[in-house]
Amino acid sequence: MERLSAGFDGIDLMIKRDDGTGLAFGGNKARKLEFIMADALEKGADTIITWAGVQSNWCRQTAAATARLGLQSILVLFRKEGVSIEPDGNLLLDSLFNARVEFVDATADTKMMELAAVADTIGRLEEEVLESGGTPYVASIGGSRVEGSMTEPLGALGYVEAFMEIFRQTSATGDLPDAIVHATGSGSTQAGLLVGAKLLSPKTKIIGVSVSEDEETMSRYVREISDATFDLLETGTRVEEGDVIVLPDYLQEGYGILTREVADAIDLVATTEGILLDPVYTGKAMSGLLDLLGKGVFPEGSSVLFLHSGGTPALFPYRNDLLDHLDR
């Protein structure tokens, strides 16, 4: 990102465009779904059940993957007070992929990332599928945790593979990053990158900007998924003290709440690089990266890679708030 880098002397900023993965406007979930959908097919499933927030990128890409494979998807979407359920952004795309959507009410205290928060609804839907002669497969939110029908950390495997790809690309150009900064919401993207870095490039720090949970909770998710992934790969490696870096400060008012800092980050990247970020994930991660750069956290000569994990369909339902913040 040459123009953006010009604002920070001595720092080389790069971007990994996982918003270009090709499945339903792209995003990081496509890498995870390669493994998860294979597992579902192997287990004879015809219906994928999962959950997330109203404007979930995970659910949108899951719905697209099931459509592509001729399966059915059931999406349980947490709705907080005041959140619109008009068919806009990802919700519109869910409908186009013929997903069945069920809304459940959520509060600020709802632990959306955990199966326990939605277990009763998921259980009822599993029974409905079984009674109709179908075979359900419950995929954890974000394809992250080992729960539901997932007996292995399949989502994280997608990002071990992604780190291998980053390693090949940047090694070839001599730009192996000192740090990778990204949005961390359910833990498996960060866990997969961390496993990949530990195995291939221990000097590369994996920095997750939390968009959903406090530091303790998110760090626990990342450690658990990372260790399960190491076990699956039989490397004998484990997460050590200091490996998991989660920054909670940029969560600010909470998951999915657009702030002026996030709006400014979206604006800056759009006007310098012609790249679109979203208000929920990548915009928050970029606001965190810009703050770290402004504070001089990265030494002169550092190479920093920003992982664009997708999510741009969410720009549209946030359009009014975004333009208000930017005075346009």
Residues serving a catalytic function are 56
Provide the token pair at 79: 């709705």
Measured CA distances, 250 to 38, 258, 305 (Å): 35, 11, 18
Q: Give the 3-state secondary structure percentages of the chain, helix then strand then coil, rounded to 5.
A: 45, 15, 35
Indicate left, alpha or beta for 254 from its phi (over 0: left) and psi (-120 to 50: alpha). Answer: left
Bridge-based pairing of strands 205-210 and 245-247 is parallel
Distance CA 203, CA 279 (A): 30
Distance CA 11, CA 285 (A): 17
Distance CA 99, CA 94 (A): 6
Question: Which of the 8 DSSP states describes residue 9?
Answer: T
Are the C-beta atoms of residues 35 and 139 closer than 8 Å to each other? no
Distance CA 19, CA 154 (A): 20
Distance CA 124, CA 57 (A): 24
Residue 223: Cβ within 10 Å count? 18
Are the C-beta atoms of residues 144 and 151 closer than 8 Å to each other? no
Question: Which of the 8 DSSP states describes residue 115?
Answer: G
Distance CA 300, CA 12 (A): 9
* DSSP notation for 232-281: HHT------TT--EEE-GGGTT-TT---HHHHHHHHHHHHHH-----TTT
